[in-house]
Chain A
């Protein structure tokens, strides 16, 4: 009986982990927009507006192009599902959860790659000029961001001796790891990759109406109704995913790693949410100070991330002490 109860308790903890990333995602986006609006001397939409928008889109008619294939119709759900799975795998408030052994950091990178691939396919599916333009730019960014991301994975794995996020988080939240140059470089690279992957300024402008300058928005320009709701939700979850990844890898302090009491989990959750909203507020501060860069400058920006990641890996080859 106690065993079943204990299992259900663990299952509930895992369930909280899975649903918190989806349920909090629109609010995180709302905070980002609100802070940006305030920085631009505007009042901005209500914090809960992203929830209203998704609700509204869910109830609107989905308009499909005549030549849209099943790929186009399936892609939004697939992208959302894959992004959700990836986000749910990142330890947010507790390590050692029930499903945390089912996938590692490399699997998360692969899941995100799959989501991007299907969205790029969907962008080209209806055959509009903008869809193709967006897909080609997205793949260009991906081809630059993914190597940098893998180097971050290597850096972290070399320090922690594993690619299991749960173990990494548990290890990094102790004092044993200490301040490391390699991790600082990895954090730097991670921020660059996160900006590029989430289509934020200076790589992309999520608020633009200019079709010709869009990347992510150009791919999904033809989507409407529930399809668009799924894509928006997936984009919001992806932002939370990257925030969570940064929190888990670089500032896991406060995460519930040992004690399994409800109070410990509640405290860890509060700490996680606080960190999440701090990051959500910091993002637009950086965005407001920068203009969007030229498309052909992306390699320079993401090359910087790659170089930082590579340097971190090399340092670790020289000595595990870095």
Chain B
């Protein structure tokens, strides 16, 4: 294990046709050593997913010029567990095992993750062996020992209109000793559905993984596909993509800021944020023809070229909401009873966010200065100066403040992008037959969203989406320990992890 991550990958020949980052085929010993190197803090795990007879792992490290993908063949159906060294990989390995049947040897947790026994088969992307239906309730939650502890099961069906997920609290009175999540209730089989389907259909599926991140997912898919094809979208389309991505970020952050405050029973800010969010979505609808801008980013460009008048609608909307948003921020700052709830609640320590590579507001609220738009710079952000807010406190308040600053930064970015919007076409030909592999990471409002795909002619041979939530959900468990039960909704809302994007 003395080898560093850099030396492990040095001098290897990258697989041809994989763009823009290299992909290496490695052996089991190197795979295992990479896991140990990740655990030693040399790099960040970006993703781990299965493929036919293969497992892939994406990682980045300060010593590597770009992120890299490593691939291990699994002829006998097992691969060395990364999770035994590096806990962030555990759930990803469990998902690989559920979908492909490839077991992670030595993994600390062999329980099912996505497979709740309701499929009638095992390994839908692997053996597809028939399996008896199992009771989805049966699940061995990790035992917690101690005096005076009691369990509170919450979900998967919640009282509010939110996505399903089960939370098992072990509490001592009001103090939470342990929270264990169980997810997978919104598994839709996206990995299976995208396998072997044509590009247009794959793009539409990816756009529907999670409605709140539809622009970011389409953006990542389009970039991955364009990389695989070796083409690039026209400059005007790229700028329009940036405008859409920032509009989506503003709308979602506004919703989150209001929702966090509402969970502290401060409904006033929710009401105001609701109005602001509606103004944003209504403008999106007028300009792009869809409130969430679903399917507006397409491989090769964008589906709609807004006229100058339509761009004026966006600018007018920004002028409208900017002073109102400033009022909301002032209201948040001036309400001590609200900050009494958010400050020092649900603290995530900086070492945890670094270890898990948590992106988005979760990472940036705990001092991880990472933003895919800047650190893995892509057009149109690569020549756009913008502020990446970072806070150190790691509490609910910090996560709210990251969002507040990001809304302001995004409004500024949209103005800059519209000001310098180039003329020209908004779409290039992206269909046609060619092979290749592509990968892209975009910054969704939750954090870095990775899309990897392999093309086979005019079809998608394999497409994998890794939402930022994979590395944020486990931190929610950590953040709530020693907090009180009644503060969980507040913490949960401040994370606002995706269920649908995670369960795929």
**Complex Cα spacing A201 to B152, Å:** 24
Is A87 in contact with chain B by the CB < 8 A criterion?
Answer: no
List the B side residues contacting A213 at CB < 8 Å.
263, 265, 486, 489
List the B side residues contacting A202 at CB < 8 Å.
265, 337
List the A side residues contacting B159 at CB < 8 Å.
209-211
List the B side residues contacting A295 at CB < 8 Å.
174, 484-486
Q: With both chains docked as a complex, state the minimum distance between the C-beta of B292 and any C-beta of chain A, in angstroms.
A: 24
**Complex Cα spacing A23 to B335, Å:** 37
Cβ-defined contact, A294 with B265, below 8 A: no
Cβ-defined contact, B340 with A291, below 8 A: yes
Question: 25 A-B contacts, Cβ less than 8 Å apart?
Answer: A39-B268, A40-B267, A40-B268, A40-B270, A42-B271, A133-B485, A136-B173, A201-B265, A202-B265, A207-B267, A209-B158, A209-B159, A210-B160, A210-B263, A211-B154, A212-B489, A288-B267, A288-B268, A291-B261, A291-B265, A294-B484, A294-B486, A295-B485, A295-B486, A296-B174
**Complex Cα spacing A213 to B159, Å:** 12
Is B62 in contact with chain A by the CB < 8 A criterion?
Answer: no
Known: A202-B265, A291-B337. A133 touches B160 (CB 8 A): no
**Complex Cα spacing A201 to B266, Å:** 9
Q: With both chains docked as a complex, state the minimum distance between the C-beta of A67 and any C-beta of chain B, in angstroms.
A: 16
Is B487 in contact with chain A by the CB < 8 A criterion?
Answer: yes
**Apart from A129-B150, A295-B174, what 14 extra A-B contacts exist at CB < 8 Å?**
A39-B268, A40-B268, A40-B270, A41-B271, A210-B489, A212-B152, A212-B488, A213-B486, A288-B267, A290-B337, A292-B265, A294-B341, A295-B484, A297-B340
**Complex Cα spacing A291 to B267, Å:** 8
**Complex Cα spacing A207 to B271, Å:** 14
Q: With both chains docked as a complex, state the minimum distance between the C-beta of B349 and any C-beta of chain A, in angstroms.
A: 21
Contact with B along A39-80 (1 / 0, CB 8 A): 111100000000000000000000000000000000000000
Is A261 in contact with chain B by the CB < 8 A criterion?
Answer: no
Within 8 A of A (CB), among B123-169: 150-154, 158-160
Is A205 in contact with chain B by the CB < 8 A criterion?
Answer: yes
Is B73 in contact with chain A by the CB < 8 A criterion?
Answer: no
Within 8 A of A (CB), among B476-504: 484-489
Cβ-defined contact, A212 with B486, below 8 A: yes
Which 5 residue pairs spanning A and B have beta carbons closest together? A292-B265, A205-B265, A291-B338, A291-B266, A209-B159
Is B376 in contact with chain A by the CB < 8 A criterion?
Answer: no
Is B275 in contact with chain A by the CB < 8 A criterion?
Answer: yes
Cβ-defined contact, A291 with B271, below 8 A: no
- B residues with a Cβ closer than 8 A to A are 150-154, 158-160, 173-174, 261, 263-268, 270-272, 275, 335, 337-338, 340-341, 484-489
List the B side residues contacting A290 at CB < 8 Å.
265-266, 335, 337
**Complex Cα spacing A293 to B265, Å:** 9
Q: With both chains docked as a complex, state the minimum distance between the C-beta of B153 and any C-beta of chain A, in angstroms.
A: 6
Of the candidates B151, B264, B340, the one whose C-beta lies within 8 Å of that of A129 is B151
Of the candidates A129, A205, A292, the one whose C-beta lies within 8 Å of that of B152 is A129
List the A side residues contacting B267 at CB < 8 Å.
40, 207, 288
**Complex Cα spacing A201 to B159, Å:** 20
Within 8 A of B (CB), among A213-234: 213
Cβ-defined contact, B160 with A291, below 8 A: no
**Complex Cα spacing A205 to B489, Å:** 13
List the B side residues contacting A201 at CB < 8 Å.
265
List the B side residues contacting A41 at CB < 8 Å.
271-272, 275
List the A side residues contacting B272 at CB < 8 Å.
41
- A residues with a Cβ closer than 8 A to B are 39-42, 129-130, 132-133, 136, 201-202, 205, 207-213, 288-297
Cβ-defined contact, A212 with B485, below 8 A: yes
List the B side residues contacting A210 at CB < 8 Å.
159-160, 263, 489
List the B side residues contacting A293 at CB < 8 Å.
337, 340-341
List the B side residues contacting A129 at CB < 8 Å.
150-153
**Complex Cα spacing A129 to B173, Å:** 11
List the B side residues contacting A211 at CB < 8 Å.
154, 158-159
List the B side residues contacting A294 at CB < 8 Å.
340-341, 484, 486-487
Cβ-defined contact, B265 with A212, below 8 A: no
**Complex Cα spacing A293 to B150, Å:** 24
Q: Which residue of A lies closest to B167 (CB)?
A: A212
List the A side residues contacting B265 at CB < 8 Å.
201-202, 205, 207-208, 213, 290-292
List the B side residues contacting A289 at CB < 8 Å.
268, 335
List the A side residues contacting B487 at CB < 8 Å.
294
**Complex Cα spacing A28 to B101, Å:** 61
Which of B267, B487, B488 has the most chain A CB within a 10 Å cutoff? Answer: B267
Which of B265, B485, B488 has the most chain A CB within a 10 Å cutoff? Answer: B265
Q: With both chains docked as a complex, state the minimum distance between the C-beta of B429 and any C-beta of chain A, in angstroms.
A: 49
Q: Which residue of B lies closest to A40 (CB)?
A: B271
Cβ-defined contact, A291 with B335, below 8 A: yes
**Complex Cα spacing A209 to B159, Å:** 5
List the B side residues contacting A133 at CB < 8 Å.
152, 485
Q: Which residue of A lies closest to B337 (CB)?
A: A291
Q: With both chains docked as a complex, state the minimum distance between the C-beta of B112 and any C-beta of chain A, in angstroms.
A: 24
Q: Which residue of A lies closest to B162 (CB)?
A: A209
Q: Which residue of A lies closest to B266 (CB)?
A: A291
**Complex Cα spacing A19 to B159, Å:** 35
Which of A202, A209, A291, A294 has the most chain B CB within a 10 Å cutoff? Answer: A291
Q: With both chains docked as a complex, state the minimum distance between the C-beta of A241 and any C-beta of chain B, in angstroms.
A: 23
**Complex Cα spacing A209 to B151, Å:** 20
**Complex Cα spacing A294 to B336, Å:** 13
Q: Which residue of B lies closest to A292 (CB)?
A: B265
List the A side residues contacting B489 at CB < 8 Å.
210, 212-213
Q: With both chains docked as a complex, state the minimum distance between the C-beta of A319 and any C-beta of chain B, in angstroms.
A: 36
Known: A210-B160, A212-B489. A292 touches B264 (CB 8 A): yes
List the B side residues contacting A132 at CB < 8 Å.
150
**Complex Cα spacing A289 to B159, Å:** 25
Q: Which residue of B lies closest to A217 (CB)?
A: B159
Q: With both chains docked as a complex, state the minimum distance between the C-beta of B279 and any C-beta of chain A, in angstroms.
A: 13
List the A side residues contacting B154 at CB < 8 Å.
211-212
**Complex Cα spacing A34 to B128, Å:** 57
Cβ-defined contact, B340 with A209, below 8 A: no
Q: Which residue of B lies closest to A202 (CB)?
A: B337
Q: With both chains docked as a complex, state the minimum distance between the C-beta of A204 and any C-beta of chain B, in angstroms.
A: 8
Q: With both chains docked as a complex, state the minimum distance between the C-beta of B461 and any C-beta of chain A, in angstroms.
A: 44
List the A side residues contacting B173 at CB < 8 Å.
136
List the B side residues contacting A40 at CB < 8 Å.
267-268, 270-271
Q: With both chains docked as a complex, state the minimum distance between the C-beta of A27 and any C-beta of chain B, in angstroms.
A: 22
**Complex Cα spacing A132 to B486, Å:** 14
List the A side residues contacting B271 at CB < 8 Å.
40-42
Which of A205, A210, A290, A296 has the most chain B CB within a 10 Å cutoff? Answer: A210
**Complex Cα spacing A296 to B173, Å:** 12
List the A side residues contacting B152 at CB < 8 Å.
129-130, 133, 212
Q: Which residue of B lies closest to A41 (CB)?
A: B271
List the A side residues contacting B264 at CB < 8 Å.
291-292
**Complex Cα spacing A152 to B286, Å:** 60
Q: With both chains docked as a complex, state the minimum distance between the C-beta of A200 and any C-beta of chain B, in angstroms.
A: 10
Cβ-defined contact, A209 with B160, below 8 A: yes
**Complex Cα spacing A133 to B174, Å:** 8
Q: Which residue of A lies closest to B341 (CB)?
A: A291
Q: With both chains docked as a complex, state the minimum distance between the C-beta of A257 and any C-beta of chain B, in angstroms.
A: 40
